[in-house]
Amino acid sequence: MDRTQVFIDSNKDRFLNELLELLRIPSISADPAYKDDVNKTAEVLAENLINSGAENVEICPTAGYPIVYGEKIFDDSLPTILVYGHYDVQPADPIELWTDPPFEPVIKKTEIHPEGAIFARGACDDKGQAFMHVKAFEAMVSENELPCNVKFMIEGEEEVGSANLATFVKENKEKLTADVILVSDTGILSNDTPSICTGLRGLSYVEVEVTGPNRDLHSGLYGGCVANPINILSKMIASLHDENNHITVPGFYDKVIELSDEERAEMARAPFSKQDYCEALDMDDVYGEEGYSTMERGSIRPTLDVNGIWGGYTGEGAKTVIASKAYAKISMRLVPDQDSDDITKLFKDHFESIAPQGVRVKVTPHHGGEAAVTPITSDGYKAAAMAMQQTFGKRPIPIRSGGSIPIVAMFEKELGLKTILMGFGLDSDAIHSPNEHYGLFNFYKGIETIPYFYKYYTELVK
Ligand code: BES
Ligand code: MN
Ligand code: MN
């Protein structure tokens, strides 16, 4: 891969500029106002794939946003790597908390990224990371060092639950035949502590609505006499955790696979400083489920969190009112072997059952997805570890992540393929938050590392 590395080195500025062009298009999949921009991003990406040497590039329509497909097939006897990523991004709000406009990328140095980082929505999640694959591919193709077949599948609906990807995968099993799936949409522990993500949590996301009186009421005339939906909702939510921060939904933990003491001891070897963690977030302590470390709470344990809560008067000054309705959005992060549909049902039954007289409760499920784990004994994991060893000079640590990429479990079910999660972001990169950024070190390190994955994977399975 020597010539490939030289090619990468001499094209760094161009690679960066091409990424910045993608980042300037606000491909927010959640907001229909950006429909044309999301579609435009697919076109620019497809164009770039063609220019990078991919063949049979297609913008595959779905019932939602299109999937960008491209490939380079040499020979059926060679292994095939299927690269997955997403070109859609999260909404940018609260926009006033961005130091620079979210879709006008700028490069700035930070303490953690002394070489500079690209500040823009999608810089890390996932345009920057997906684009590393396109550029690593371009380098290998142009230097005639691509050792195997490649297929790209980059979607535009990941941030809204990949609703149409499953249909696409089911209808295109032949086209997507591969030996392994490679994804960069996760992170490493730090720039000098490489790690590979070996697990993702599942997700059940619900919205709840509590209705009291049929209209908003004067809080003096009616206060004390009617169920106040906001008071009630707060109480109901508070009751979902006990004094040890265990979740109280009956049956919630029934299918949770507990890790062995050995596995937990292995996990505890990953470096973690509670002090640094707290300092970075300006908190005096961590908080969570009794009996588990912070690393465990954020990866191998299921959670229940309110993501948003609203109702009543929230404008300037005071308005004396009892609202008719109160709402909350709740996410439950799940671990193997919890099933997201089962958990959604358990939650709904429980939440309805704890509603006191005087209110009505409605629970509406949003998207969900299953957890996934990758064994570290697979050829794919080994190849990723060897690749990172090569470029970081250190053996990566296997780490389970708390985030979710529901399609990983779907790929396993529909295509029978394991996914290798070789991402290069940092937890501090503020994905989904204001001032999202992605280190230049990480962007280039990713482009340099990916070709070695191809090389070692091909050598291992040949
Ligand atoms: N790339 C993230 C997931 C992620 C980030 C996993 C960092 C591990 C480490 C992905 O784009 C994402 O945000 N997923 C959503 C779920 C989806 C169904 C909206 C999530 O985890 O909230
Ligand atoms: Mn992502
Ligand atoms: Mn995301």
Q: Which strands sit side by side in the sheet containing 325-334, from one edge to the other?
A: 303-311, 325-334, 202-211, 360-369
* Ligand 3 center–CA 296 separation, angstroms: 21
For a ligand 1 pocket test, name from 88, 185, 426 the mutation site with the most ligand atoms within 8 angstroms of its C-beta: 185
Positive or negative, the CA dihedral 19, 23, 27, 30 is positive
- Helix ranges (DSSP H) in 80-202: 127-142, 165-171
Cα–ligand 2 centroid distance for 86 (angstroms): 7
Residue nearest to atom 1 of ligand 1 (CA): 185
Exposure of 288 in the CB half-sphere (CA atoms within 13 A): 16
What 3-state class would DSSP assign to 399?
Answer: strand
Residue located nearest, by CA, to atom 10 of ligand 1: 405
The tokens for 79 are: 């292994």
Q: How far is the CA of 307 from the centre of ligand 1 (A)?
A: 14
Measured by CA distance, the residue closest to atom 15 of ligand 1 is: 404
Q: What is the Å distance from ligand 2's center to 316 Cα?
A: 36
What are the sequence ranges of the domains in the chain? 2-200+371-461, 202-256+302-369
Quote the tokens at residue 427. Answer: 């937890």
pLDDT of residue 367: 85
Contact call for residues 462 and 80 (beta carbons, < 8 A): no
- The ligand whose atoms approach the alpha carbon of 200 most closely is 1
Atom of ligand 1 nearest to the CA of 401: 8
The Cα-based distances of 168 to 43, 171, 176, 364, 405 in angstroms read 18, 5, 10, 26, 17
258 vs 253, 297, 335, CA distance in Å? 10, 12, 10
Assign a CATH topology to domain 2-200+371-461. Aminopeptidase (3.40.630)
pLDDT tens for the 462 residues of the chain, in order: 999 999 999 999 999 999 999 999 999 999 999 999 999 999 999 999 999 999 999 999 999 999 999 999 999 999 999 999 999 999 999 999 999 999 999 999 999 999 999 999 999 999 999 999 999 999 999 999 999 999 999 999 999 989 999 999 999 999 999 999 999 999 999 999 999 999 999 999 999 999 999 999 999 999 999 999 999 999 999 999 999 999 999 999 999 999 999 889 988 888 999 999 999 999 999 999 999 999 999 999 999 999 999 999 999 999 999 999 999 999 999 999 999 999 999 999 999 999 999 999 999 999 899 999 999 999 999 999 999 999 999 999 999 999 999 999 999 999 999 999 999 999 999 999 999 999 999 999 999 999 999 999 999 998
Q: pTM value?
A: 0.93
CA of 196 to the centre of ligand 2 (A): 15
Rounded Cα gap, residues 375 and 393, in angstroms: 23
Fold classification of 202-256+302-369 (topology level): Alpha-Beta Plaits (3.30.70)
- Using a 6 Å CB cutoff, which residues line ligand 1? 125-126, 158-159, 161, 185-187, 200, 203, 367, 369, 401, 403-406
Closest to 211 measured CA to CA, from 314, 350, 311:
311
Cβ(278)–Cβ(286) below 8 Å: yes
3-state secondary structure of 10: helix
What residues flank ion ligand 3 with Cβ within 5 A?
Answer: 125
Q: Do domains 2-200+371-461 and 202-256+302-369 have the same CATH topology?
A: no
105 Cα to the center of ligand 3, angstroms: 18
- Residue 33 DSSP label: G
Atom of ligand 1 nearest to the CA of 205: 18
408, 200 Cβ separation under 8 angstroms: yes
Q: Ligand 2 centroid vs 159 CA: distance in angstroms?
A: 7
Ligand 1 pocket, mutate which of 87, 333, 404, 431 (most atoms under 8 A from CB): 404
Distances (CA, A) of 287 to 292, 306, 338: 10, 15, 23
